[in-house]
Structure 1
Amino acid sequence: MPDIRIPAPGGGSLWAERGGTGNPVVLLHGAGMDSRLWDAVAPVLRAHHDVIRYDARGLGQSSRPEQPFSDTEDLRAVLDHFGLRRAALVGLSMGGETSLDFALAHPDRVTELALVGTSVSGHVWPHDARTSAYAAARHQGNASSLARLELSIWASMGRAAPGGELIQEMVEQNAARRITSERYFAHTPDRDAASRLGHITAPTLVVHGDRDHPEIAAIAERLTAEIPDAQGHVVPDADHYLPLRTPERLTELLLAHLSPQRREPV
């Protein structure tokens, strides 16, 4: 499948891949990762959908930013590049946050939302020793500490669990890139999806692993309660890297949600 280079707003390019036929679905990965997060999910989805995945600005094979950028504008550039007026968005963590913000800003362009272990703009995270150290490593630009803490906090099932080798590889390769990218990320004070969840109009699936960070579970509960008609599912034996830990179960949930009938999965 050929690599695609999409011009990024303000300069540079976004790496993307497209394959399959059917209704369009865009896969968005989390911070400190890249599109390989979807390696075990994308091939099955492509049998039923037109699937696009891309590396967020500065991560994976996308170019590093040299000026402030917007993740939602990058997503719009991806849709526009492929001539897609509307698409379903499947986002994990940061990718889910981007998807939510985009759905609030452009509700007419989102057919369905699937939020996996997602974060939410405007959500206030509680502080503890490990998450404080994690934040400090990001702000201080300490890539080795950031990678180590990313793996211990978010990939708690370890290297021996399914997908462990690829997870470690992605995290270590993207740690320094993430630090650079986040320095140019345009933080806008008015981005506050947490207070506007009731305005989401797209059919929404909320998924998280039972071994993810406890605050992710709290966010998932809030999303399910406040987004109209949202469906929530907890996946056993999965931490934050759910698409690589339990790809079969996640794919089953996604196919049921993204199908025209949106059958409730067993």
Structure 2
Amino acid sequence: MRTEHEVPAPDGGRLWADRQGSGTPVVLLHGSGMDSRLWDAVVPALARHHDVIRYDARGLGRSAPPERPFDDLADLRAVLDHFQLTRPALVGLSMGGETALDFTLAHPDRVAALALVGASVSGHDWPPSPATTAYAEARRRGDADALADLERSVWAALGRTAPGGALVETMITENAARRITSEHHLTGAPPRDAAARLARITAPTLVVHGDHDHPEIAAIATRLGTGIPGARAHLLPGADHYLPLRTPERLTALLLAHLA
């Protein structure tokens, strides 16, 4: 049975979430420029074994846009508290992986297991490139069309004809302008440096990335796989940054084995 929820955010905002399945709890976190539909192809099989909660990050998808600075870790904690989850597993992609990792370091007693999919990590220095410069300029101008074009070319490299292509395109188009507003207000969090603290992670950790993802995501995956004690790392073929839609069966099998 699937239920939809409006989760009160710490400052009076609202987060959209849904819940389905039964078993040990798993919370899914998506990346920036996306929303919880990223997990559409994974949730049905995962929910046959787990209580699966996914939510749209602040200002993205069906969540309300922020009106003041906010902290993504406080939002995640609000979701856990709303569903009365004491120690769920966290599965995060890109920005969602970074949030999950930062939350695990801040609240190790509240995370049973961790899965980082094409994850970014706070404290990692991204090398300058034409793409990062273009992203910064698009954000400065508030140019949603330019931001969407960059998302397609840099992160959705396999294109519209690859598995999940129609949904990838829909999420990119619908969230481009919302992303600018959300990222503008994502200033309530203090600076974090998970990259320097990976050895403190005690939750069982799975690290996954696709062979067509951005090269720096591959570098981060190596850093996570070697830096987190006992982490298991996997490279999945035929996937770019939208890995849960490109290779859902392979990812689901890895997640089910990791969370068993």
- In 2: Cα distance, 1:55 partner to 1:76 partner: 14
CA RMSD of aligned residues (A): 0.9
Moved more, 132-141 or 78-87: 132-141
How do residues 157-176 of structure 1 correspond to structure 2 at under 5 angstroms? Answer: 157-176=158-177
Question: Aligned-pair distance for 1:188?
Answer: 4.1
- In 2: Cα distance, 1:58 partner to 1:19 partner: 23
CA contact (8 A) 2:68 2:185 kept: yes
Question: Aligned-pair distance for 1:131?
Answer: 2.4
Aligned partner of 2:65: which letter? Answer: R
Question: Aligned-pair distance for 1:21?
Answer: 0.6
- Name the count of aligned residue pairs: 259
- In 1: Cα distance, 2:207 partner to 2:188 partner: 25
Aligned to 1:3, the other structure's residue is in SS state: strand
Question: Aligned-pair distance for 1:11?
Answer: 1.2
- In 2: Cα distance, 1:51 partner to 1:189 partner: 29
Moved more, 85-94 or 2-11: 2-11
Q: Partner residue of 2:74?
A: 73
**Structure 1 stretches of 5 or more lacking a match?**
260-266
- In 1: Cα distance, 2:27 partner to 2:139 partner: 27
Question: Aligned-pair distance for 1:134?
Answer: 1.8
Q: TM-score, normalised by structure 2?
A: 0.98
- In 1: Cα distance, 2:217 partner to 2:115 partner: 15
Aligned partner of 1:202: which letter? Answer: A
- In 1: Cα distance, 2:65 partner to 2:175 partner: 11
- In 2: Cα distance, 1:11 partner to 1:179 partner: 20
How do residues 188-227 of structure 1 correspond to structure 2 at under 5 angstroms? Answer: 188-227=189-228
Q: Partner residue of 2:35?
A: 34
- In 2: Cα distance, 1:53 partner to 1:174 partner: 17
The one-character-per-residue Cα deviations of 1:17-75 (angstroms, maximum 9, x if unpaired) are 00111100000000000000000001110000000000000000000001111100000
Q: Partner residue of 1:264?
A: none
How do residues 5-44 of structure 1 correspond to structure 2 at under 5 angstroms? Answer: 5-44=6-45
Q: Partner residue of 1:182?
A: 183
- Identity level (%): 69
Runs of 4+ in 1 over 3 A off after TM superposition: 187-190
Aligned partner of 2:233: which letter? Answer: G
Aligned to 1:97, the other structure's residue is in SS state: helix
CA contact (8 A) 1:134 1:150 kept: no
Question: Aligned-pair distance for 1:3?
Answer: 1.6
Aligned to 2:192, the other structure's residue is in SS state: coil
Aligned partner of 1:104: which letter? Answer: L
- In 2: Cα distance, 1:12 partner to 1:197 partner: 31
Aligned to 1:244, the other structure's residue is in SS state: helix
Q: TM-score, normalised by structure 1?
A: 0.96
Aligned to 1:173, the other structure's residue is in SS state: helix
